[in-house]
Amino acid sequence: MSNQPQTDNRERKRAQFADGAQPKSKATPLLIIVVIALVAVALFFVFRSRSGQPAATVINNSTVSSDIRIPLSELSSQAKFYDYTLADNRKMRVFALKSSDGVYRAALDACDTCYHAKKGYHQEGDDMVCNNCGLHFHSAQVNEVHGGCNPVGLPRAIEGDTLVIKASDLQARQQYF
């Protein structure tokens, strides 16, 4: 009697195979879930790397000697990004801000360590954050701390109500772009 249910089960399975029906695999739904998860993770990283580049103001240069001139009224604790064209038509990107200690600061959107990735920085609160490695740097450290993954500081001067970054200082740092 205990042998009868096993025989019935075997006969049903044989009948399924004879009709061409395949037994349902438990692996198929799991495979679909894994593929969807992988696609979601890939999309997260793609959009994360793109969102790290804030919109920039384009500074048009007619000659190599064109300095960047930024009205102080444009600058606040929120970093403002600027695109600059070098003499060889290569693009470089800089940012400027008024840090929490009241100092106007400027730096390349690059560092000594991660510049090759060309991802730059974004701002979170009072920190500039490397889009490549995720390290945070307080805005008051820009132009003060050098090397590593700190933003490459730029010499700057205040002329009246304008922050000035010399074209020669930008040209001297072109290797970062």
Name residue 121's amino acid: Y
Beta bridge partners of 91: 85
Q: Are residues 89 and 111 in the same domain?
A: yes
Q: Report yes or no: 75 and 96 within 8 Å, Cβ to Cβ.
A: yes
- 143-172 mean pLDDT: 91
Residue 55 has pLDDT above 90, yes or no: no
Which strands, in side-by-side order, build the sheet including 68-71?
A: 68-71, 162-165, 157-159
Instruction: Assign 56 to helix, strand or coil.
Output: strand
State the residue range of the domain holding 39: 3-51
Question: With bands split at pLDDT 50, 70 and 90, how would you rate the model's confidence at 49?
Answer: very low
Q: Are residues 46 and 63 in the same domain?
A: no
Residue 62 has pLDDT above 50, yes or no: no
* More confident call, 39 vs 122: 122
Q: What is the pLDDT of residue 149?
A: 81
Residue 147 has pLDDT above 90, yes or no: no
Domains identified in the chain, total number: 2
Percent of the chain with pLDDT over 90: 37
Instruction: Assign 127 to helix, strand or coil.
Output: strand
Q: Are residues 39 and 82 in the same domain?
A: no
Q: Are residues 66 and 85 in the same domain?
A: yes
Q: What is the pLDDT of residue 51?
A: 45
Beta bridge partners of 68: 165
Q: Are residues 102 and 23 in the same domain?
A: no
Q: What is the pLDDT of residue 24?
A: 58
For the whole prediction, is pTM greater than 0.75? no
Q: Environment class of residue 26 by beta-carbon count within 10 Å: exposed (0-12), middle (13-18) or buried (19+)?
A: exposed
Q: Are residues 133 and 87 in the same domain?
A: yes
Could you give the residue ranges of the DSSP H alpha helices within the chain? 3-18, 27-51, 167-171
